[in-house]
Amino acid sequence: MTVEGTSAKKSGREDSNRLLRWFVTRVLSGFGVLLFLSVVVFAATNAVPGTIVDALLGPEAAPQDRAALAERLGLNTPLPARYVSWLGHMLTGDLGTSLADGNPIAPKLLERAGHSLVLAGVAFLVVLPVAIALGSMTGLRPKSRWSKAANGSSFVFICVPEFVLGMLLILVFAVWIPVFPAISAVDSDSTLSEWVTALVLPVLTVIPASVAILMRVVRFGVAEVNREDFIRMAPLRIGYDPRKVLRRHILPNALAPTISVMALSLAHIITGLAVIESLFQYPGVGKMLFDAVEIHDIPVVQATALIIGLIVVVLNILADLIAGILDPRVGSAEQGASS
């Protein structure tokens, strides 16, 4: 084996080890974020006005009944001890029991999570290609009227609250032109056509702001890469075909650093589902959380908030991993900054 071959093999091994260490660091930091989130969620839900006893028995309940229920629920135990016990149950998959109906939380939460992932997934599958296409077109000609108009429109869509847009869509497409239902109430027994019609308005509510955010990021990346010298030399190698240059050279280099933003866009969709699901009565995790807060069902609030946090953290870790694989400079740069 030549000296150059040995050196290249050693360099490749070092890059792999560096990426692995960086990924392990990311996973550990994700665990740290989840631990911190669990502390915040548990402390916040135990500090809200009105106790679980008030929610279950009402403020007019007899003192002895209140004391008996507090003892049964373990509310007389010190808060740190209750947190440790609660966290232990969470880590073993025991999400507790709903105070509203007395049923285990986990089965219902898994079903609702599936519904939310369907909504978020469909929206993201629309957002991603539209944002990349718009970002590419505006990034290639950033000073054109079309690019400036798209950039200005994206700012408007980012500023408009999603619940306002959702109400307008309901008014237009469920009241004035009744082609879609205002209530997106579906379940596991619903037909495919019922799912499709139920998803249209919630998805249309999610899309504009998400497309606008991601389009601006892609636009910036494409514009930056398009100014590089190797892009100017690309036609000499592959011929003057703008679409081929965009597909082979500009997009791969422009999209690698934006992978994290794409995952954040999906995370933004998921974390914003509470308002949208409540507006359309869509049976997802967001509506489950909203309803639980409304009736002071503390165990459900704790479990759903933690699961949403887990999904967001996992998405960010996967995005970092993909970005590190596509562009090793990302991991190297961040490791250098942290050392």
Instruction: Report CA torsion sign: 36, 39, 41, 43.
Output: negative
DSSP string computed for 189-234: T--HHHHHHHHHHHHHHHHHHHHHHHHHHHHHHHHHHHTSHHHHHH
**Band of residue 280 on the pLDDT scale cut at 50, 70, 90:** very high
Q: Is residue 9 part of a domain?
A: yes
Interatomic CA distance for residues 293 and 206, integer angstroms: 23
Give the pLDDT mean for 67-77: 73
Q: Is residue 218 part of a domain?
A: yes
Q: Is residue 80 part of a domain?
A: no
Give the pLDDT mean for 204-208: 92
pLDDT, position 326: 64
pLDDT in tens, 190-201: 888 889 999 999
Instruction: Report CA torsion sign: 199, 204, 206, 211.
Output: positive
pLDDT, position 12: 55
> Which domain does 231 fall in, by range?
3-45+95-338
CB-CB contact of 41 with 306 (8 Å):
yes
pTM of the predicted model, to two decimals?
0.79
- The residues with which 104 forms a beta bridge, in sequence order, are 97
pLDDT, position 334: 52
Interatomic CA distance for residues 56 and 74, integer angstroms: 15
Over the Cα atoms of the chain, what is R_g?
25
DSSP state, 179?
S
pLDDT in tens, 213-239: 888 888 888 887 777 666 666 555 655
**pLDDT over 70, % of the chain:** 78
Q: Is residue 59 part of a domain?
A: no
Q: How many domains does the chain fold into?
A: 1
Q: Is residue 261 part of a domain?
A: yes
What residues contact residue 270 under an 8 Å CB cut-off, 6+ apart? 116, 120, 308, 311, 312, 315
**Residue 273, CB half-sphere, CA atoms under 13 Å: how many?**
34
DSSP state, 257?
G
Interatomic CA distance for residues 269 and 127, integer angstroms: 10
- The residues with which 97 forms a beta bridge, in sequence order, are 104
DSSP H helical ranges for 92-191: 105-140, 145-159, 162-170
Other beta carbons less than 10 A from residue 44's beta carbon:
12
Q: Is residue 68 part of a domain?
A: no
**Band of residue 248 on the pLDDT scale cut at 50, 70, 90:** low
Interatomic CA distance for residues 120 and 97, integer angstroms: 27
- Tokens 């403020």 map to which residue? 59
CATH code (residue 20): 1.10.3720.10
- Tokens 């279950």 map to which residue? 56
SS3 97: strand
User: What type of residue is 159?
Assistant: C
pLDDT, position 337: 47
Q: Is residue 62 part of a domain?
A: no
Q: Is residue 217 part of a domain?
A: yes
SS3 324: helix
pLDDT in tens, 91-137: 888 888 888 788 899 999 999 988 998 999 999 999 999 998 898 88
Give the pLDDT mean for 4-31: 71
**Residue 10, CB half-sphere, CA atoms under 13 Å: how many?**
7
pLDDT in tens, 141-182: 878 888 888 888 888 888 888 889 999 999 999 999 999 999
**In b/e form, how buried is each residue of 233-251, taking b as 16+ CB within 10 angstroms?**
ebeeeeeeeeeebbeebbb
Of 199, 183, 182, give the one whose Cα is nearest residue 191.
Answer: 199
Of 21, 34, 12, 23, give the one whose Cα is nearest residue 321.
Answer: 23
